[in-house]
């Protein structure tokens, strides 16, 4: 007969995270860029106190456990306080992506049944356009002091966050409840039809945040300072706002200023040692640094995800700037980190190119996550590094169903990601493409990701994207889009000749389109759907 363990059974709750930080790392700083410009700084102890004040304020507005509170906001300290006040009170923190179309934003606010919306002043025009279509919202709270809270014509009950919170007591008894209770809600982006909601539990977020502190993932500790550039409205900024307090790590929040100069200056002034974001952010940062001949003084490693990081960009980070790249994978449905790639001990004797090739892959799964790849019949494929199929995932922080969904997306207990991947014998996973982006030509598959990575390796290329275009003979052929670096005179013949040395000849695109910029969505990913609408005709 199995015997029970004789241990305490305390629930994993987000309120315990911020109170842990206040008690053990109370003097560690949180530095935040205000929406109106200046830097604000305080400590984890002060953050916890303000979170308790906000919890009292929300109660004063008539909200109760189970209610949803939405946010349309940047990465800043007031947004951080809301992360803990809302979820810690037993409510649901619903982070809204402000870059969604207005109709999609209205849909998710109503679908989530948000009672209060917290917003940054930047988004006041957005609030003006959607407020009349969100009848369940009782109050619109601007994340600012009274002097920086705008008046919005036609929108009733617009409140100043600071005026709402300041009169409230710092004393608040965080309720205790089941750790599987809903804590946060995030909707998918870039899908067809209406966005779908992933409802995260306290248990899932805490476990994921704890794993993020591990040496094989982000390696957060009290000796570090982390700047999450990945938005707090995108998968909870990869759970970094929860992981940093657990690790006692200084947290630097960039607010709305995400250009290369602003990010670099904040990194330098605040002694940032770790950052995290999508490749497009790092391309802008390094372009600024190259243009001005700058170096990092404290930055040691960066987490990268959201889309595949080109090997040429990895090489620049590592060989030119001495920054360790940790390439990961996750999605809205996985709470945050699913896999992460780091160099093994034996890599000390490897060439730079071999190291970069490994780090261009998405790495091994974190403890608590299992992965496999399957063929079209659902059969599990071997872990040989070459057999590719759809990536399937399950684990402690993977969704079992969508919020208010009628049908579970799971297949035999596994979540189908829509990514095409391979898994090597050592467990290293590599995303080869999205099922909707992989290009089938003459019965063979071409990875748009690999083609894009090869193109970005050209010194004249700033950004690249590839889509499949219908072809009367070959089914599909690749079409390449290029954004030139400033001052570059790159032309079609040169880039195609360059690619002939990097990929199989039949992979080389049939044509090249040069653009001033690529369409980028709310999470920093290139919107290939927009490119298909405009350019996805038929090759002659």
Percent of the chain with pLDDT over 70: 98
Distances (CA, A) of 524 to 9, 190, 198, 272, 490: 40, 11, 20, 22, 25
Mean pLDDT across the chain? 93
What is the per-residue pLDDT across 165-182, written as a single tens digit (0 to 9) for each? Answer: 999 999 999 999 999 999
pTM equals 0.87
3-state secondary structure of 253: strand
What is the per-residue pLDDT across 447-465, written as a single tens digit (0 to 9) for each? Answer: 888 888 889 889 999 889 9
Distance of CA 82 to the CA centre of its chain: 19
pLDDT greater than 70 at residue 190: no
Least confident span in 242-251, 380-389, 529-538: 529-538
- Average of per-residue pLDDT across 143-160: 95
What is the per-residue pLDDT across 488-528, written as a single tens digit (0 to 9) for each? Answer: 999 999 999 999 888 878 889 999 999 999 987 666 678 88
**pLDDT score for 347:** 93
Model confidence at 53, pLDDT cuts 50, 70, 90, reads: very high
**pLDDT score for 443:** 62
Model confidence at 437, pLDDT cuts 50, 70, 90, reads: confident
Taking the CA atoms of 451, 452, 458 and 460 in sequence, report the sign of the dihedral they define.
positive
What is the per-residue pLDDT across 255-280, written as a single tens digit (0 to 9) for each? Answer: 999 999 999 999 999 999 999 998 88
Residues classed as catalytic: 188, 333, 440, 445
Model confidence at 382, pLDDT cuts 50, 70, 90, reads: very high
> How many other C-beta atoms can be found within 10 angstroms of the C-beta atom of residue 329?
29
**pLDDT score for 191:** 52
Cβ pair 199, 185 in contact under 8 A: yes
- Distance from C-alpha of 512 to C-alpha of 490, rounded to nearest angstrom: 11
Model confidence at 414, pLDDT cuts 50, 70, 90, reads: very high
Cβ pair 498, 76 in contact under 8 A: no
- Average of per-residue pLDDT across 339-362: 94
Number of alpha carbons in the 13 Å side-chain half-sphere of residue 72: 26
> How many other C-beta atoms can be found within 10 angstroms of the C-beta atom of residue 261?
15
pLDDT greater than 70 at residue 15: yes
CATH number, domain 439-535, options 3.30.300.30, 3.40.630.10, 1.50.10.20, 3.30.43.10 = 3.30.300.30
What CATH superfamily is the domain 11-219? ANL, N-terminal domain (3.40.50.12780)
Least confident span in 102-111, 234-243, 295-304, 440-449: 440-449
Calculate the dihedral angle through the C-alpha atoms of 506, 511, 512, 518, rounding to the nearest 10 degrees: -90
- Average of per-residue pLDDT across 342-361: 93
246, 254, 240: which is closest to 221 by C-alpha?
246
**pLDDT score for 64:** 98
> How many other C-beta atoms can be found within 10 angstroms of the C-beta atom of residue 494?
14
- Average of per-residue pLDDT across 357-362: 93
- Average of per-residue pLDDT across 146-154: 95
**pLDDT score for 524:** 65
What is the per-residue pLDDT across 73-85, written as a single tens digit (0 to 9) for each? Answer: 999 999 999 999 9
- Note whether 11-219 and 258-434 share their fold: yes
pLDDT greater than 70 at residue 129: yes
**pLDDT score for 539:** 66
**pLDDT score for 1:** 93
Percent of the chain with pLDDT over 90: 78
> Does 100 or 208 have the greater pLDDT score?
208
Least confident span in 184-193, 235-244, 267-276, 323-332: 184-193
Q: Judge: domain 258-434, CATH 3.30.450.40.
A: no
Domain boundaries, the chain: 11-219, 258-434, 439-535
- Distance from C-alpha of 313 to C-alpha of 81, rounded to nearest angstrom: 35
**pLDDT score for 361:** 93
């Amino acid at each position: 007969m199995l015997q029970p363990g004789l241990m305490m059974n305390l629930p994993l709750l987000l309120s315990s995270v911020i109170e842990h930080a206040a008690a053990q790392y109370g003097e560690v700083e949180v530095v935040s860029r205000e929406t109106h410009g200046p830097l604000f700084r305080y400590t984890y102890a002060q953050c916890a106190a303000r979170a308790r004040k906000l919890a009292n304020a929300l109660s004063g507005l008539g909200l109760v456990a189970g209610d949803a509170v939405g946010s349309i906001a940047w990465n800043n300290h007031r947004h951080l306080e809301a992360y803990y006040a809302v979820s810690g009170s037993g409510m649901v923190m619903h982070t809204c992506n402000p870059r969604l179309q207005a109709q999609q934003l209205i849909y998710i606010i109503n679908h989530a049944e948000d009672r209060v919306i917290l917003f940054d002043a930047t988004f006041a025009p957005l609030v003006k356009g959607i407020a009349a279509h969100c009848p369940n919202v009782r109050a619109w709270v601007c994340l600012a002091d009274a002097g920086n809270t705008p008046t919005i014509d036609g929108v009733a009950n617009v409140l100043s966050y600071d005026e709402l919170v300041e009169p409230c007591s710092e004393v608040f008894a965080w309720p205790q409840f089941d750790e599987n209770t809903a804590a946060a809600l995030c909707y998918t982006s870039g899908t067809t039809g209406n966005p779908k909601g992933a409802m995260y539990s306290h248990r899932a977020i805490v476990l994921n945040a704890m794993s993020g502190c591990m040496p094989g993932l982000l390696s957060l500790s009290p000796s570090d300072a982390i700047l999450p550039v990945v938005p707090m409205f995108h998968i909870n900024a990869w759970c970094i706002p929860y992981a940093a307090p657990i690790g006692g790590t200084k947290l630097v929040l960039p607010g709305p200023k995400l250009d290369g100069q602003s990010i670099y200056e904040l990194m330098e002034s605040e002694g940032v040692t770790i950052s995290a974001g999508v490749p497009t952010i790092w391309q802008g940062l390094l372009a600024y640094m190259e243009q001005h001949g700058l170096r990092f003084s404290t930055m040691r490693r960066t987490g990268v995800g959201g889309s595949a990081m080109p090997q040429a960009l990895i090489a620049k980070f590592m060989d030119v700037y001495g920054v360790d790249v940790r390439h990961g994978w996750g999605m809205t449905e996985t709470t945050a980190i699913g896999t992460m790639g780091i160099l093994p001990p034996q890599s000390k004797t490897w060439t730079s190119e071999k190291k970069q090739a490994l780090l261009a892959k998405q790495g091994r799964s974190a403890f608590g996550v299992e992965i496999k790849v399957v063929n079209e019949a659902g059969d599990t494929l071997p872990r040989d590094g070459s057999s590719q199929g759809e990536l399937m995932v399950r684990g402690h922080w993977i969704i079992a169903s969508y919020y208010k969904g009628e049908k579970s997306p799971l297949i035999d207990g596994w979540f189908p990601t829509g990514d095409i991947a391979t898994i090597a014998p050592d467990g290293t996973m590599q995303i080869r493409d999205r099922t909707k982006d992989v290009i089938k030509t003459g019965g063979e598959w071409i990875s748009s990701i690999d083609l894009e990575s090869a193109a970005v390796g050209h010194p004249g290329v700033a950004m690249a994207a590839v889509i499949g275009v219908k072809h009367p003979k070959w089914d599909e052929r690749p079409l390449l889009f290029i954004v030139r670096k400033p001052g570059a005179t790159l032309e079609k013949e040169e880039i195609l000749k360059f690619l002939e040395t990097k990929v199989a000849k039949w992979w080389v695109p049939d044509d090249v389109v040069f653009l001033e910029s690529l369409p980028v969505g709310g999470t920093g990913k290139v919107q290939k759907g927009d490119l298909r609408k405009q350019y996805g005709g038929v090759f002659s």
